[in-house]
Amino acid sequence: MSEHRLDLERRQRLGLVEAIWGEHKSAEQIIAIARDFERAGELALVTRVDHAKAAVIQESIPELVHHSQARCLTLGELPNPSQPAVGLLCGGSSDLPVLAEAELALQCHGIGSQRFADVGVAGLHRLLKVIPELDGLQLLIAFAGMEGALPTVLAGLVPQPIIGVPVSVGYGVSAGGQAALSGMLASCAPGLTVVNIDNGYGAAMAALRVLRGRG
């Protein structure tokens, strides 16, 4: 009996590609799941796969692509992205793996995005400098560790919907992203939406739902 049941109707039901959590699955389990996606003619997206596990999997499925910064695997042709609709902002380069996961998840749905890296509030002038470039974007996702202030500051400056993603980066009391999560949830900026720690995929799917609702 199969150890997994794919939700192959998710695209038809919700318009979302099913993602497979890869961190706690063995290479053998991921290979079996990817093969099932391939047989169904569906794009496979596997999140949280490190270099070592990806190398083992690619020995069995060479056509599978490892997106190293995003720590994800894809199998199948990615759609051509639209003109950038989503801005992806992060406090520092340590936040980039989570940002890249969201970026890839959006690309799997044909949604183009634009990066604005290293615009954290420790150097507020860096964020202020890119504000004019955000005008044409429909939605923003902000990634931040430490105290997680970036989404709050951003939500006080621009009118677009903003999704905050706490990142598990920071010393001591940062507590693996808990301080950033609490700070974002307690934000005084009205209308800020927050997803779970390091959940780049979840932020991308929330963005997709918002964009489709606006369309």
One domain, residues 187 and 210: yes
User: Is-contact 3 28, C-beta < 8 A?
Assistant: no
> In angstroms, rounded to a whole number, what is the distance separating the alpha carbons of residues 33 and 191?
38
Query: 202: Cβ–Cβ under 8 A, 6 or more apart, which residues?
Result: 195, 196
Q: Please, where are the H alpha helices in 84-149?
A: 96-107, 124-130
Per-residue confidence band for 187, with pLDDT thresholds at 50, 70 and 90: very high
Per-residue confidence band for 40, with pLDDT thresholds at 50, 70 and 90: confident
Query: Helix (H, G, I), strand (E, B), or coil: what is residue 164?
Result: strand
Q: Where in the sequence is the domain holding 162, given as residue range(s)?
A: 84-214
One domain, residues 116 and 208: yes
- The yes-or-no verdict on residue 41 having pLDDT over 80 is yes
One domain, residues 88 and 25: no
- pTM score, whole prediction: 0.92
One domain, residues 147 and 70: no
**Tens of pLDDT, residues 135-171:** 999 999 999 999 999 999 999 999 999 999 999 999 9
User: Is-contact 66 165, C-beta < 8 A?
Assistant: no
* Domain CATH code at residue 122: 3.40.50.1970
User: What's residue 53's pLDDT?
Assistant: 96
User: What's residue 119's pLDDT?
Assistant: 94
One domain, residues 103 and 179: yes
Return the percentage of the chain with pLDDT > 90, whole number. 79
Which of the listed residues 30, 54, 75 is the one where a domain comes to its end?
A: 75
One domain, residues 92 and 63: no
One domain, residues 71 and 90: no
The kind and range of the H/E element at 154 are helix 150-155
Domain count, the chain: 2
